[in-house]
Amino acid sequence: MSIALVLLAAGKGTRMESDRPKVLHKIGGAPLLHHAMLSASALEPERTVVVTGHGTDLVEAAAKAFDADATTVLQAEQLGTAHAVAQAKDALDGFDGDVIVLYGDTPFISTETLDDMIKARADHDVVVLGFDAADPGRYGRLIMDDTALSKIVEYKDASPEERAVTLCNSGVVCAKRTVLFDLIDAVDNNNASGEYYLTDIVEIANTRGLKATAVTCDEAETLGINSRAELAAAEAAFQRTTRAAMMKSGVQMQAPDTVFFSYDTVIGRDAEIEPNVVFAPGVTVESNARIRAFSHLEGAHVSQGATVGPFARLRPGAELAENVHIGNFVEIKNATVDEGAKVNHLTYIGDAEIGARSNIGAGTITCNYDGVMKHKTTIGQDVFIGSNTMLVAPVTVGDEAMTATSTTVTKNVPHGAMAIGRVDQTNKNGMARKLFSMLRAKKAKQAKD
């Protein structure tokens, strides 16, 4: 059966106290919208429609960034969830399959749960996702008759007996496209909020002799984000789950609570992650690599046996080969460091290639920016770069070459050559004592004044 997705992402999120659309606030380095799309993407949907409203241009751009084929439609007025889904009707014209309605601010619903809903659809016309709530609060209640779902009652409209029910509505629905939109057409706004509730389709389906049921999942999957506090709680939940999954897959962490992952972090078996490491999006760390304490990685690839840190920063485009050493207070950006090379201390390597087994001394800088354009530094194999070397790009240092300490390299260095580019030292006898005497006298005079 073909699947289409409708993701509701029109809400402003007033309680977030933010100018940013609610679904663009991030967990694990990715917008809430991307998390919702990610779980559903495993279903290989034939079509994806994102319903936008507040900040429509920003939400549309985010949706397209995740899935270039996604369609966006505008809900100009927020008149309820059924009204929101109705905006997707034309975009799904001609689609012959099931539609799953998801929410851009509900990031944790799993692919397995969505699979359960699809399986239940084989025997039912409408499938709703529910959960048993520890504290049902103001959630809508699912009123069951054995395995049949008779209706969904919003808290505002529920009787005391109905409010006592703990099976709650997540809002996620699955139905055949034709059935879904036929039922939505029959929804009215005769309720306490004056809104068109998607939940009303269940009762309408039953009056038409259609079969409705509920599939349940863990309450944690249905966590919706409406405030900064809930966003922080969701981030904490994401990190807990990810840390547990990493350790289960064989990643070593001495202090897992201090390590922070992104939604797409990939770490191989027997890799070691020391305390206080942050993985921003786009990082892969291969098996047996070691990321030492207080390092920050983003958009980087670390190969087997490599060591990074402590106190290192890998920026986007950093590519480390096997057994590379990146040491303390080193920054790597848009650069490849080949097998066995070492960049151990207080160094910036940007827009560069470093050959195998080369050693980059402390205080080295690849001067890659002229104020307008970026330029590349190429360092060959088995090169020794002396401490405090400035490499003014574009420049190439040949294989088995070296630079003297405090050299400024402005011309290519041939294979096997040694570059020395510094001003000759001159010693002025007695000048230090004379200068200090003058400065102390000046300071004493200023103190009196």
Residues of the chain with CATH 3.90.550.10: 3-222
| Cis preceding-peptide flag for 310 (omega within 30 of 0) | yes
Residues of the chain with CATH 2.160.10.10: 228-419
375: confidence class by pLDDT, cuts 50, 70, 90: very high
Q: If you average pLDDT over residues 348-361, what whole number do you get?
A: 98
Closest CA relative to residue 418, chosen from 369, 375, 384, 376: 384
The two structure tokens encoding residue 249: 């897959």
274: confidence class by pLDDT, cuts 50, 70, 90: very high
Res. 228: pLDDT tops 80: yes
DSSP 344-375: EEEEEEEEEEE-TT-EE-TT-EEE-B-SS-B-
Which 3 state secondary structure label does DSSP give 10?
coil
Q: If you average pLDDT over residues 110-136, what whole number do you get?
A: 95
pTM (2 d.p.): 0.89
Classified by CATH at the fold level, domain 3-222 comes out as Spore Coat Polysaccharide Biosynthesis Protein SpsA; Chain A (3.90.550)
Instruction: Please list the active-site residues.
Output: 345
Q: If you average pLDDT over residues 261-281, what whole number do you get?
A: 98
Angle at 219 between CA 6 and CA 252, to 5 degrees: 100
| Rg of the chain (C-alpha set) | 30
- With helix as H, strand as E and coil as C, how does 184-244 read? HHCCCCCCCCCCCCCCHHHHHHHHCCCCEEEEECCHHHHCCCCCHHHHHHHHHHHHHHHHH
By mean pLDDT, which of 192-201, 214-223, 318-327 is the weakest? Answer: 192-201
Res. 355: pLDDT tops 90: yes
Classified by CATH at the fold level, domain 228-419 comes out as UDP N-Acetylglucosamine Acyltransferase; domain 1 (2.160.10)
Res. 192: pLDDT tops 80: no
129-165 residue pLDDT tens: 999 998 888 899 999 999 999 999 988 888 999 999 9
293-312 residue pLDDT tens: 999 999 999 999 999 999 99
The amino acid sitting at 98 is D
pLDDT of residue 194: 87
